């Protein structure tokens, strides 16, 4: 067998050593998001603050470690076949002084029982990219180790949308599967992708989709190209086949992690009428047909878990609400009035709905308690239908709902504290993980130098002095202005912690100024 086609554990692990996987935090898999989606789907998932989470295929912990930082009372276990990735993750865990996360080099099929059961199991980038017996092992693991009310998150490539991708993959594999060297395979894949994509107009209009796919492939990162487009195995499936496979292992489909994708409000009346006649699994399958969906992030629960009731007003009022990123960008795009009009056509884009959206934008990325909105914002006649407005806004992707809001602040404290993980990351690169469980790039070199100093040991005046003493700002007279600007920027990115209980831990992250 050619090395590029070998699907053994040894071969799979070797590929991640040949071309490192660009591991990132994946927001949709965070237990707070999973608990929120479960609640919206009528399932009472375990509480988040002290939950237990297992991630299979955790790589270097880039998804799991930020969760452990944000939820110090919870327990996290990650397993992966890649020894270098696990070693890198353990170094980060040690540098952060975390005691609530364990990373093990292990096969998910034989994960030790000493790790116990889990409230949430995350399998991002696993299901479509492993052999069939490993997919069986994943569901068997969930059946045996998932808590009674627990939630399993599984992402996978899905049909029919991936048919176009498969056509492009056929071109790539024919051209590169005989090549053993990983870097040479990447170069050859990009070469043939450009060759086919840039040849000229296609004979049939439908062929343009494949050429567009190959054009995009040529621009992808090494990680994306090697571990997705060139991955073996890589098996997209129809959703109903996935649901049937899960059911065989005693698991039931609950919802999609991107909950707004489950709505059909944007579809034709005929499509909505047809969807209304279907059971949940068939409804999702036909939504995939209508959208030509390529990728899914599905949530599963035990088949024995109680079937939940529809979301009610009381549960909604127990949640928090924040502006979505689309809404938060509204002021710069002039789009808030359009979103307000979308929610309340009679308002013309103004009135109390606009007032609500403006307040959410002003507070972004922090949240409001929904129960307190009436008193805090004086929404007048909107109060009577606030529940419906928020539900519609969430379904339209205008707001986000939270059963457990992120512990961040948009108002810097007297002694501000940046996420310890972001402080660590800023020492070696420009990409940091926010408390919103997102990776952001900080292009300002001065801001990157300042970030590790925001560890709770300095007030604003001390930060200004540090900026001057370390020469972070070229113009010392503007140091105070720079600190104020950077703190506001960090706050709006979701980097400043609201809870300072661990402000001075771990000591390894504290930045000590040089003595004279």
What are 404-426's pLDDT values in tens digits?
Answer: 999 999 998 899 999 999 999 99
What residue ranges do the domains of the chain occupy?
Answer: 3-160+236-302, 163-220, 319-402, 420-509
Average pLDDT of span 61-66: 98
How high is the mean pLDDT of the chain?
Answer: 90
Range of lowest pLDDT (5-9, 24-28, 487-491): 5-9
How would DSSP label each residue in 126-174? -GGGS-HHHHHHHHHHHHHHEEEEEEEEEEEEEETTHHHHHHHHHHHHH
Residue 383 and residue 376: Cα distance in Å, rounded? Answer: 11
pTM of the model: 0.93
**Inter-CA distances, 16 with 84, 92, 264, Å:** 9, 19, 39
Q: Which residue has the tokens 């992966």?
A: 80
Average pLDDT of span 160-170: 96
- CA dihedral (63, 64, 65, 71) in degrees, to 10, reads 120
The residues facing 121 across adjacent strands are: 54, 152
- CA dihedral (222, 428, 79, 37) in degrees, to 10, reads -80
Q: What is the per-residue pLDDT for 273? A: 86
Class of residue 248 by CB neighbours under 10 A (exposed 0-12, middle 13-18, buried 19+):
exposed
What pLDDT digit, counting tens, does each position of 79-124 carry? Answer: 999 999 999 999 999 999 999 999 999 999 888 899 999 999 999 9
Q: What is the per-residue pLDDT for 90? A: 98
Residues 6+ apart with CB under 8 A from 501: none
| 514 pLDDT tier (thresholds 50, 70, 90) | very low
- Which residue has better confidence, 353 or 308? 353
Contact in structure between 491 and 497 (CB atoms under 8 Å): no
What pLDDT digit, counting tens, does each position of 349-386 carry? Answer: 788 899 999 999 999 999 999 998 878 888 887 877 88
Counting every residue written for the chain, the total comes to 516
Residue 167 and residue 214: Cα distance in Å, rounded? Answer: 9
What pLDDT digit, counting tens, does each position of 254-274 carry? Answer: 999 998 888 766 677 888 888
User: So what's the architecture of 3-160+236-302 in CATH?
Assistant: 3-Layer(aba) Sandwich (3.40)
| 446 pLDDT tier (thresholds 50, 70, 90) | very high
Query: 469: which 2 tokens?
Result: 């003493």
Please name which of 352, 142, 316, 159 lies closest in space to residue 238, comparing C-alpha atoms. Answer: 159
330-334: long-range contacts (C-beta < 8 A, 24 or more apart)? Answer: 330/357, 330/361, 331/361
First to last CA, the chain: 64
* Helix and strand totals (H; E) in the chain: 23, 13
**Residue 312 in this model has a pLDDT that exceeds 80:** no
Helix axes 182-197, 162-176, angle to 10 degrees: 120
Share of the chain above pLDDT 70, in %: 94
Residues 6+ apart with CB under 8 A from 216: none
């Amino acid at each position: 067998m050619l090395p590029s086609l070998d699907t053994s554990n040894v071969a799979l692990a070797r590929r991640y050593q040949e071309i490192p996987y660009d591991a990132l935090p994946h927001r949709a898999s965070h237990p707070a998001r999973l608990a929120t989606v479960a609640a919206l789907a009528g399932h009472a998932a375990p509480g988040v603050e002290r939950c237990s989470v297992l991630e299979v295929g955790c790589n270097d912990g880039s998804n799991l470690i930020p969760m452990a930082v944000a939820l110090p009372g919870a327990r996290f276990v990650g397993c992966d076949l890649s020894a270098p990735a696990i070693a890198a993750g353990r170094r980060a865990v040690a540098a952060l002084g975390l005691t609530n996360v364990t990373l093990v080099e292990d096969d998910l099929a034989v994960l030790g029982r000493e790790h116990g059961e889990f409230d949430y199991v995350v399998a991002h980038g696993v299901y479509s990219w492993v052999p069939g017996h490993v997919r069986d092992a994943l569901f068997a693991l969930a059946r045996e180790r998932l808590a009674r009310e627990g939630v399993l998150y599984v992402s996978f490539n899905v049909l029919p949308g991936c048919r176009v991708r498969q056509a492009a993959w056929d071109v790539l594999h024919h051209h590169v599967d005989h090549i053993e060297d990983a870097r040479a395979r990447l170069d050859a894949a990009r070469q043939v992708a450009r060759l086919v994509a840039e040849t000229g107009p296609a004979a049939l209009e439908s062929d343009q989709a494949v050429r567009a796919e190959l054009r995009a492939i040529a621009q992808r990162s090494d990680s994306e190209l090697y571990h997705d487009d060139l991955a073996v195995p890589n098996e997209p499936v129809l959703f109903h086949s996935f649901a049937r496979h899960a059911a065989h292992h005693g698991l039931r489909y609950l919802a999609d992690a991107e909950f707004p994708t489950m709505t059909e409000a944007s579809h034709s009346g005929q499509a909505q009428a047809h969807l209304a006649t279907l059971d949940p699994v068939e409804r999702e399958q036909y939504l995939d047909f209508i959208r030509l969906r390529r990728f899914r992030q599905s949530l599963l629960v035990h088949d024995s878990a109680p079937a939940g009731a529809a979301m009610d007003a009381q549960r909604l009022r127990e949640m928090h609400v924040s502006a979505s990123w689309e809404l938060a960008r509204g002021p710069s795009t002039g789009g808030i009035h359009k979103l307000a009009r979308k929610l309340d056509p009679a308002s013309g884009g103004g009135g109390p709905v606009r007032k609500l959206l403006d307040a959410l934008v002003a507070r972004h990325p922090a949240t409001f308690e929904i129960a307190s909105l009436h008193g805090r914002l004086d929404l007048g006649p909107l109060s009577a239908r606030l529940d419906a407005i928020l539900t519609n806004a969430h379904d339209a992707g205008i707001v986000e709902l939270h059963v457990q809001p992120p512990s961040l602040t948009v108002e810097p404290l007297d002694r501000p504290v940046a996420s310890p993980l972001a402080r660590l990351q800023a020492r070696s690169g420009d990409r940091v993980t926010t408390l919103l469980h997102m990776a952001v790039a900080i292009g300002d070199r001065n801001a990157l130098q300042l970030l590790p100093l925001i560890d709770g040991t300095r007030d604003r005046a001390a930060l200004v002095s540090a900026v001057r003493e370390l020469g972070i700002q070229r113009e010392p007279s503007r140091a105070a202005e720079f600190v104020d600007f950077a703190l506001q920027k960090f706050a709006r990115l979701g980097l400043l912690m609201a809870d300072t209980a661990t402000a001075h831990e771990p000591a390894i992250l504290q930045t000590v100024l040089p003595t004279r």
